[in-house]
Amino acid sequence: MVAVIGLGNMGLAMVRCLSGAGSPPKGWDLDPAKRAAAAAAGATTPETLAETIAPVTILSLPHEAAVAAVLEVLLPALPPGAVIVDTSTLSPGAVRGFARQAAQAGCAYLDAPVSGGPAGAAAGTLAMMIGGDADALDRARPALALLSAKILHIGASGAGQVAKLVNNLLVATHLVAAAEALRLAGAAGVRADALLPVLNGATGRSAATEVNWPRWIASGTFDSGFSAGLMRKDVRLALAMAEEAGVPLDVTARAAAAWEALTSVPDSADFNRVPAMIAVGATP
Ligand code: NAD
């Protein structure tokens, strides 16, 4: 049995995937409406967080404070040897602290941030970047295999978050770069619908041009399930990691600044709104 704590865009998609694979999980969220949606998707939804226990517990929470609050209740309730697999995007320092706290309670905590969004979670095709103990990963692996096409053990506690933050700093940068390139081409007389097939058949391509633009921006759907606020959180965490590591950033830091500065796109909006605005000439 698996439990999923945090039933937002990602957590609910994980519930759907696990239920569809014949392993309906337990589910918990602070928001009763999210618990009701998870119940409709096949989850068992106990009355309290302390009752939402399982040998493998997946967290999908927005920030460090939420994880700290959940662990405070969960760790005393979990059986010895239980594995917490935290798919939230957090700082490497925070997750190392959570792993120590779990070890003191006789449990294991893996940082396991993911790539692939709600669509990947629902389809069971996430890429998971794991930091932490290999034996604990082996105990959780059968459950994680239902959600992930790629389970990558990167290294010790915190290594998964390092990989995830570097990945998302690149995504944020690629999106800003693609937006500027499309704006330039448009101003010089070549429209996006003519340019994108060129880029995607040539060496200028990236996930920004191959996935984000056709799927969520050019289509006008803006329904990726990943908010601008969460992307801003990720770039902030990446910049803090660079400062801590003593690595000065130039191009990626400027792209990160564009995400922060474009305040006309609220945190609640789809993250693709930021490059879409830059492509039509918005400046902070
Ligand atoms: P979301 O805001 O849609 O969902 C977060 C859920 O956590 C909400 O339902 C909220 O009510 C719940 N929550 C908050 N505090 C809680 C608490 N103390 N106890 C129980 N529940 C609590 O966020 P999301 O898009 O599902 O993302 C979840 C995590 O996954 C984030 O860390 C995000 O950075 C990461 N992530 C998201 C995506 C994506 O595409 N959405 C992709 C990769 C990683």
How confident is the chain (284 residues) per 10-residue block, as mean pLDDT? 97 98 98 98 97 97 98 97 98 98 98 97 98 98 98 98 98 98 97 97 98 98 98 98 98 97 97 97 79
What span, in angstroms and rounded, lies between the C-alpha atoms of 281 and 284?
10
For residue 195, how far is its CA from the centre of ligand 1 (angstroms)? 35
150 is catalytic: no
Q: Quick one: pLDDT at residue 282?
A: 83
The answer, yes or no, to whether any atom of ligand 1 lies below 6 A from the CB of 226, is yes
From the CA of 117, give the closest atom in ligand 1.
Answer: 40
For residue 253, how far is its CA from the centre of ligand 1 (angstroms)? 25
From the CA of 12, give the closest atom in ligand 1.
Answer: 26
For residue 201, how far is its CA from the centre of ligand 1 (angstroms)? 35
Helix or strand holding residue 217 (H, E): none
What span, in angstroms and rounded, lies between the C-alpha atoms of 15 and 42?
7
The answer, yes or no, to whether any atom of ligand 1 lies below 6 A from the CB of 119, is no
The widest CA-to-CA distance across the chain, in whole angstroms, is 64
Q: Which of 16, 130, 22, 126 is nearest to 83 (CA)?
A: 130
Contact between 144 and 128 under an 8 Å Cβ cutoff? The reply is: yes
Name the closest-CA residue to atom 44, ligand 1.
114
Q: Which of 49, 163, 159, 48 is nearest to 95 (CA)?
A: 159
Three-state DSSP at 176 gives helix
Contact between 115 and 161 under an 8 Å Cβ cutoff? The reply is: no
Q: Quick one: pLDDT at residue 284?
A: 67
The answer, yes or no, to whether any atom of ligand 1 lies below 6 A from the CB of 15, is no
User: Do strands 126-131 and 114-115 pair parallel, antiparallel, or not at all (unpaired)?
Assistant: antiparallel
Residue tagged active-site, from 26, 34, 150, 164: 164
> What's the token pair of residue 7?
């039933």
User: Do strands 56-59 and 2-5 pair parallel, antiparallel, or not at all (unpaired)?
Assistant: parallel
Q: Quick one: pLDDT at residue 283?
A: 75
Return the DSSP state at 208: I
Cα dihedral sign for 119, 121, 124, 126?
A: positive
For residue 241, how far is its CA from the centre of ligand 1 (angstroms)? 21
> Alpha carbon of 234 to those of 40, 73, 214: distances in Å?
31, 26, 23
The answer, yes or no, to whether any atom of ligand 1 lies below 6 A from the CB of 171, is no
> What's the token pair of residue 260?
């922060």
The answer, yes or no, to whether any atom of ligand 1 lies below 6 A from the CB of 69, is yes
Return the DSSP state at 42: T
Name the closest-CA residue to atom 32, ligand 1.
88
The answer, yes or no, to whether any atom of ligand 1 lies below 6 A from the CB of 160, is no
Contact between 170 and 115 under an 8 Å Cβ cutoff? The reply is: no
Q: Cα-atom radius of gyration of the chain, to the nearest Å?
A: 20
Which amino acid belongs to residue 184? L
User: Do strands 56-59 and 83-86 pair parallel, antiparallel, or not at all (unpaired)?
Assistant: parallel
Backbone φ and ψ for 85, nearest 5 degrees, come out as -110, 105
CA 150 to chain centre: 15
Q: Quick one: pLDDT at residue 129?
A: 98
From the CA of 31, give the closest atom in ligand 1.
Answer: 11
The answer, yes or no, to whether any atom of ligand 1 lies below 6 A from the CB of 70, is yes
Name all domains of the chain by residue range, CATH numbers in brackets. Answer: 2-156 (3.40.50.720), 162-279 (1.10.1040.10)
End-to-end CA distance of the chain: 48
For residue 8, how far is its CA from the centre of ligand 1 (angstroms)? 5
The answer, yes or no, to whether any atom of ligand 1 lies below 6 A from the CB of 31, is yes
